[in-house]
Amino acid sequence: MFLLIIKRGGGKLNQQSSEEPKIALKQVPHARTFRHAREQVKVMIESGFSTQVIQTYLIRWARWWVLTVKTWQVLELLKSFQAKCFDDYLKIFIEALIRDRFSEDVRPVPSSVPA
């Protein structure tokens, strides 16, 4: 015996009117997200990886999370990561990364037009 139940409405449980504004929820990175990256950087420093390799790892880590969670930004994520670091040398390392990669006023634009 086969029983078929048909429910009318097609899953339209919560309809918002066009006048109500949609509220975007802000997702916050979990502590485990920062802890894993922090431990990885510590191991890389202790193993003697170059600064460039560690910076590349952190940029790729941040970009992956930005692509995964569309509301995050790379600079915002790196600053949050820096705030969650306990060791001063990691904070200084992240600060240098942010200054070198994201500060526009650090690198002057060369002028090719003679004055």
The pLDDT, as a whole number, for residue 25 is 66
Which residue, among 114, 102, 96, 99, has the nearest Cα to 73 in the 3D structure? 102
Evaluate whether 51 touches 44 at the Cβ level (below 8 Å): no
For range 18-29, the mean pLDDT: 68
The pLDDT, as a whole number, for residue 103 is 80
Please report, for residues 9, 28, 38, 81, 94, the alpha-carbon distance to residue 31 in angstroms, rounded to integers and kept in the order given.
41, 9, 10, 10, 17
The domain segmentation of the chain, as residue ranges, is 31-102
Residue type at 84 in one-letter notation: K
Tell me the pLDDT tens digit for each residue of 52-87: 999 999 999 999 999 998 888 999 999 999 999 888
Kindly report the pTM of this predicted structure.
Answer: 0.66
